[in-house]
Structure 1
Amino acid sequence: MVNYHFGRGRARWAPYLLLLPGILFYVLISLGPSLATAVYSFTDATGIKGAPIHWIGLANFKEFLFMGQASRDNYDALGRTLLFCFFVTSIQFVLGLVVALLVNQKLKGVNFFRTLYFLPVILGAVIQGLIWSLFLYPLGGPVARLLASLGLHSEFFGGQPSEAFAWVIAVQIWANLGTTMMIFISGLQTIPEELYEAARIDGAGSWQVFKEVVWPLLTPVVNTNLLLNIIGSLQAWQLFLVLLGYRNGTQVLGYLIFAQGFGQTSGSTSSAFRQGYAAAASIVLFFLVLVIGMAVQTILRRREERILG
């Protein structure tokens, strides 16, 4: 008979009691709000205290996906979300890997640069956005002065939406590069030094060492970073709020959800809250993230099995 580690009688309930606070916290903070969002997506809820809530079925989804100019704007926001995800993921991934390779060297002062590159991560989206708003301010900001010295000018706040959108991509990469870098560093430090030495003894150059030793052994870390970057950029919206506000031609799906749910539709103008509609939009975003995430995970898992067996 197998002995039970937690004893007998009431002691057998010990692991369940230990798990209970964590489960309750998860239900309260994550699962509960998610289920509430799913229910609200089928209602005309506004979020205003005392306002009646009516069950309207799939009307929110129909309006979001198929009705008039609003649905076309939503599809434009969806396209910008995918574009934002592509550029942020690809650039942040490559830069994170390059920086990780550089700061993984056994050189004096390398810890300072690791801290420097990771520092933006701990600031939070609001502080990051405010810093860059001042940095990019067109009337006397550092970027404006630099461009003026070159005979150019920046219209970050009032110019073309494409310019503002590109700056948000740059800020998003700057803000999260440290996380990508640290994950790569953790992977690099698991590679035994003996493998580097063996490759160099066999006459391999730096590129060959990276291609034949480092890159294959980084496969699990590569998978983790790609998934985190893709999911994070698909859900991004805070920097759009702080840097741009609700501006035509720049909205991504995540910020559109926030704006509809909390009444912001254009600049400082507010409309009635539409939290039921926003909940439906968030369900659409959820399935977008789910489909893309599962597809990427399947491809990466097959690649990992092919490389590592």
Structure 2
Amino acid sequence: MTTLSLPAPAKLNRLLRITGRRPDGYHELQTLFQLLEYGDTLHVTARAGDAGIRLTPGLAGVAEEDNLIVRAARLLQRETGCRDGAHIAVDKRLPMGGGLGGGSSNAATTLLALDRLWRLDLGLDRLAALGLELGADVPVFVRGATAWAEGVGERLVPVELAPDWFVVVHPGVEISTAAVFGHPGLTRDSTAISMRRALDGATPDAVWRNDCESIVRALYPEVDHALTWLSRYGPAMLTGTGACVFCPFDDEALAERVLGDVPDGWRVFKARGSNRSPLHRALGIV
């Protein structure tokens, strides 16, 4: 048996603009995915000749067949006819319902790890296409680059962002993405902008905003409180549909000082942004 221990990094949405709603209920959006040097770790062990997929530990409140890790492994088996299996152990650091892409990142790491361990050699294009079947955020983790995204988040263009440090706060609530995107008050008609405009130094208030933020603040006072508190230190913003909020800093020392002021009861961490995924570095993917 061979084991790979691999990172499943978090992401931030540095902006999130909702430009329309499709007939299938999904939303057209523009976003800027920022990968972080922080996340979960998966320990993936291939089991030759045993097609079972075993996950430890399970997630509270999530049936095993609904877990994105298990779904990713079984999807790969179905698509390739592979008869091998795997035992996957998870060191979980990212909160559920936090807007950090933890489940999607876990799925992407599972796909890349098993592609390597089962010697499938599918390539990133096919793995990203499979990832999209699991969730709109999975392809960015499969492709492994900070990226400008459109469509439902699957049309990706790699970009280079300054390697800022971030303080990320989770105020202790779990948010339903479906509830936020289904809310009648959600802005769904933001004007589409060019990638160039988004990257050419626009002010956060003008372009680098999250269209979900006002709804989430109204529905979840805990998130509103966290944003109000973090905004004292810089341009704080919601990531995804939350519940996590973040603020960028020029250097680690500034971020560390903010960590020392965080109120009791909040989960908080600091992390550096990365233009290349630590998962790709670990696997030697160029």
TM class by shorter chain equals: under 0.3
State the TM-score, normalized to the length of structure 1: 0.23
**Greater strand fraction, Structure 1 or Structure 2:** 2
